[in-house]
Amino acid sequence: MSSEKRKYWGFVRPMPASLLVALAKQAEDRGMQGLFAPQVYGPPFLPLATAAAVTERIQLASGIAIAATRSPFETAMAALDLDHISGGRFILGLGASVLSWSRGVFGAPEHKPLAHLRETVAAVRHVVSGAHKGLEPFEGKYFRADFREFQPTEPPVRTEIPIWIAALRAPMVRLAAEVGDGVIGHPMWSIEWAVDRMGPEIEKALARSGRRREEIEINLWPWAAPNPNEREAIEDARATMAFYGGVQQYESFFEAHGFLDVARQLQAGVKRGDYQSVAHLVPDEMVRTFVAVGEPDKVRERIERAWSLADSLCIVPPAYGLSPEKLLYYMGMIDAIFYGK
- The string of DSSP letters for 184-207 reads EE-TT--HHIIIIIIHHHHHHHHH
pLDDT > 90? residue 5 = no
**Architecture, CATH, for domain 3-228+296-319:** Alpha-Beta Barrel (3.20)
pLDDT > 80? residue 226 = yes
User: What is the 8-class DSSP label of residue 213?
Assistant: G
* Residue pLDDT, tens place only, 108-129: 999 999 999 999 999 999 999 9
In this predicted structure, what is the pLDDT of residue 339?
84
pLDDT > 90? residue 340 = no
Mean pLDDT, the chain, rounded, equals 95
DSSP 3-state percent helix, strand, coil across the chain (nearest 5): 50, 15, 35
pLDDT-based confidence at 93, cuts 50/70/90? very high
In this predicted structure, what is the pLDDT of residue 2?
42
pLDDT > 80? residue 191 = yes
* Residue pLDDT, tens place only, 42-86: 999 999 999 999 999 999 999 999 999 999 999 999 999 999 999
pLDDT-based confidence at 28, cuts 50/70/90? very high
In this predicted structure, what is the pLDDT of residue 341?
53
Q: Give mean pLDDT, residues 231-260.
A: 95
**H and E: helices and strands count for the chain:** 14, 13
In this predicted structure, what is the pLDDT of residue 70?
96
> Helix 17-29 and helix 45-53: axis angle, to 10°?
60
In this predicted structure, what is the pLDDT of residue 4?
55
Q: Give mean pLDDT, residues 244-260.
A: 94
- Domain positions in the chain: 3-228+296-319
In this predicted structure, what is the pLDDT of residue 3?
45
Q: What are residue 93's DSSP bridge partners?
A: 164
CA dist 20 → 53, 78, 194, 248, 331 (Å): 11, 20, 31, 34, 14
